[in-house]
Amino acid sequence: MTVIPSSLLQQYGASLNRFAKGEYIFHESWPAHFYFQLEEGSIKMFNSGENNDYIQGLFSHGESFGEPPLIADFSYPADAKAVTNCKIWVLKKVDYLRLLRDNPGVHFEFTKMLAIRLCHKTKLLNAMNTQNPEKRILTIIDYFKNKVPHPSPCYEVPFTRQAIADMTGLRVETVIKKVLRLAELGELELLDHKIVRH
Amino acid sequence: MTVIPSSLLQQYGASLNRFAKGEYIFHESWPAHFYFQLEEGSIKMFNSGENNDYIQGLFSHGESFGEPPLIADFSYPADAKAVTNCKIWVLKKVDYLRLLRDNPGVHFEFTKMLAIRLCHKTKLLNAMNTQNPEKRILTIIDYFKNKVPHPSPCYEVPFTRQAIADMTGLRVETVIKKVLRLAELGELELLDHKIVRH
DNA sequence: TATTCTTTATGACCGAAACCATAAGAATGG
DNA sequence: CCATTCTTATGGTTTCGGTCATAAAGAATA
């Protein structure tokens, strides 16, 4: 699951930096200068609006984030913020590009990951633009359920109703109501307010 | 703008195939066996729903499409259909992967393209989930306006209201009404029903 | 343990976009 | 050239999710 082995990162000059809970790693519209890979903790990428936030992604141990602007020279399309205290491997852009050039296997795995992320966003765009709130919510839940192949058939959703709202473009009251409805319909189970998907 | 030179494609065994207007190149959920690059004509990638279609992308001369499933071994997340008569370079998956392996420069350009597409979908997800219909419409128009750097400051939108609806998740009547409103507000101009963006 | 903040819950009301019907102009094809 | 289909347009109606107000349970913090 780890994108690039830490030994290889260190070999190219990466350093392990700490970010406090709530701290921003970068902001929307900033130019990209570094490769980031989470060693510990988790971060969220999101667009902040006046009323709304929209969560673009959630990343934790072993995952890298914010690489596309590094590769194709554009500015960040979203903010990145530490959800918990984090330790993050940080590598300068030129060193990262050199690492990719020197290691075709790593480069190919990276391309593969972009392809998978693109497919995910493709499916999300379809779901969020054409489906009703219930389906949108299930789409998001099932994405995270299947992200890491789970041993148990049932998946305890690790998000608040507000987080689901911020990933589906809905309002928190709507998510609350639709989740109760989905539980009635048997699509979800509620165990002491925790959402469980089978 | 051409992704891979046709000479290189031929060197790896590509053939130039014809597709008639309206013909499908592939369907959602099919496994991916070929690399496709448009020599002539244009195609659309879209999800077809009961009432709704959702257009994921429009591609024309020089552009490739449907590569991510080839790279990361998943099935197509959408249909691809010829909008006009097309000539398309078709290359077998193994040969395409060999081409990428042998040509790091081509591989890097491909990675760059995925990064750009990912950024585009990120921006779309934000716009479509958090913005009002007017902003959604302008977001789509501006994307195509800026896709190829245009000499003239004004851009004649080459889409029907229905196509805009299918890219924004709105209904055609809504697009018609909001476009008229945007013209009143001066955000768009209407020349004989053609939409022009400055 | 008290207090504050977050999260879930509920109901009333409102408004914007969907839905539906209709029509006229434009483009396409036989 | 005529017939058919597509595209743009318009107005009436409905519906669903947003908005607002309120509250209680739970979690975090002092």
Query: pLDDT for A41-87, tens place per residue?
Result: 999 999 999 889 999 999 999 999 999 999 999 999 999 999 999 99
CA–C1' distance B185–D5 (Å)? 33
Place of tokens 């393209």: B113
Across A98-126, average pLDDT: 98
pLDDT, tens digit, 9 for 90 and up, residues A74-101: 999 999 999 999 999 999 999 999 999 9
Contact at CB, B121 and A123, closer than 8 angstroms: no
A82 phi and psi, to 5 degrees? -70, 125
Residue A129's pLDDT band, with cuts at 50, 70 and 90, is very high
Q: Looking at chain A, which residue has its C-alpha nearest residue B45?
A: A122
Question: Rounded mean pLDDT of chain A?
Answer: 96
Nucleotide nearest to A193 (CA to C1'): C8
CA–C1' distance A15–C8 (Å)? 42
* pLDDT, position A1: 61
- A136 close to A168: Cβ distance less than 8 angstroms: yes
User: Which residues, given as ranges, of chain B have pLDDT below 50?
Assistant: none
Nearest to B115 among A72, A121, A128 (CB): A72
Place of tokens 């399309």: A77
Q: Which domains does chain B have, with CATH numbers?
A: 6-124 (2.60.120.10), 133-197 (1.10.10.10)
pLDDT, tens digit, 9 for 90 and up, residues A161-189: 999 999 999 999 999 999 999 999 999 99
Place of tokens 């902003």: B135
- HSE-CB at B198 with a 13 A cutoff on CA atoms is 9
Is B69 buried (19+), middle (13-18) or exposed (0-12) by CB count in 10 A? buried
Is A108 buried (19+), middle (13-18) or exposed (0-12) by CB count in 10 A? middle
